[in-house]
Chains A and B, each alone.
Chain A
Amino acid sequence: MTPRQRIAAFGVAIAGLVTCYLWAFAGLPGFGRYPGPYGPVILRNAVAQTNATGVVSAINFDYRGFDTVGEEFILFTAAAGMAVVLRLLRGEGERSPVDEAAGRRVPPTSGAVRMPALLLIGPTILIGWWLSSHAQTDPSGGFQGGVVLATAFILVYLSGEFIAFRRISPVDLLDAVEAIGAGGFAAIGVTAVALGFPYLYNFLPLGHTPGAVSSSGTIALISFFVGLEVGAAFILIVGELLEQTLIVRSR
């Protein structure tokens, strides 16, 4: 194939793509005009049905909870895959995270990094905890909360040493927390089945006040478990990457 033929073939392909793309665009509903029936139905009924004012969470953890279980296990699988791929290989040894070049001095963490990181650890944990436990009332949820909680652990690394990060995040404990989080979500669904409801049916009492933290039945509980799972998974992933960068070196 000569370059000219190649360009001609590309021209035909791109013309076809542009035509189809513009054609598809012309048929789109107008900006913000949602044509389906599902959205309005949910908007009208969600708060009355679930007592959760965080309607997005009601959708994620109740109406389409089954999808969310799958999504949660994507992250679970990612963390597990990471642990498998980044394990110590034959011929690799663990060494302490100190610089090995004799003449080179590792610059200490600058105060400009250390101070803000130290100051932010507390508030970050608070925000992460708040997000994980308020899915039912506010735009938040276990996923966001879990990642924010994991960020607090990364701040510990930034403000100190890798050793400190390792000490506060033992892998065995994180593995257990991640398993409890992922398993807890699935177990809530199975419990509903055991009680004679469909999988992930919201079987807990919904509370009396929409928008109260204690309202919304299984939605709040699932969000909490998701927070555990996501937080532990992210700390594991980052820890695994830090270990690869700082400790594991081929012999």
Chain B
Amino acid sequence: MTPVAAATPYPVPNALMATLQVTLLVLVAAGAFVVVRTRDRVRLVMTLSAYGVLLAVLFFAFQAPDVTLSELTVGAVALPIAALLAIAKVRKREE
């Protein structure tokens, strides 16, 4: 079997794209820090949802639109809804 052509390198992005990608990586790291530092449960869900959107934008900037859609639907919508409902339930019991 003939060897497969050398691995396709990631197309080197232009300076603008590289700046965008690095900025998003930094933002995602900062966002994760904010999520971890949030103590209030409802606020935590909100920051988590915003963090999901941020991650989705990151995936998009790295040319993965499929993953962007999954992250948007699950990370930014479905997970926060489930978490909010669970918080509401727990709160009701605490009252």
Contacts and interface: CB of A to CB of B under 8 A. Distances in A.
Interface of A: 31-37, 39-41, 43, 56-57, 131, 139-141, 143-144, 147-148, 150-151, 154, 234, 237-238, 241-242, 244-245, 249
B8 to A, nearest CB: 5
Contacts of B88: 245
A140 B66 CA distance: 6
27 contacts: A32-B9, A32-B10, A32-B11, A34-B7, A34-B8, A35-B7, A39-B7, A40-B5, A43-B8, A57-B66, A131-B69, A140-B66, A141-B69, A144-B66, A144-B70, A144-B72, A147-B73, A147-B74, A147-B78, A150-B78, A151-B73, A234-B78, A238-B81, A244-B89, A245-B85, A245-B88, A245-B92
Contacts of A36: 7
Interface of B: 4-5, 7-11, 65-66, 68-70, 72-74, 77-78, 81-82, 85-86, 88-89, 92
A29 to B, nearest CB: 8
Given A33-B9, A131-B69, A151-B73, A242 B4 contact: no
A121 B86 CA distance: 24
Contact of B69 (A33, A140, A249): A140
Contacts of B86: 241
A41 B4 contact: yes
A57 B66 CA distance: 9
A244 B78 CA distance: 17
A86 to B, nearest CB: 10
B77 A151 contact: yes
Given A139-B69, A140-B69, A238-B82, A245 B7 contact: no
Contacts of A41: 4
A47 to B, nearest CB: 16
A86 B66 CA distance: 32
Contact of B73 (A33, A144, A249): A144
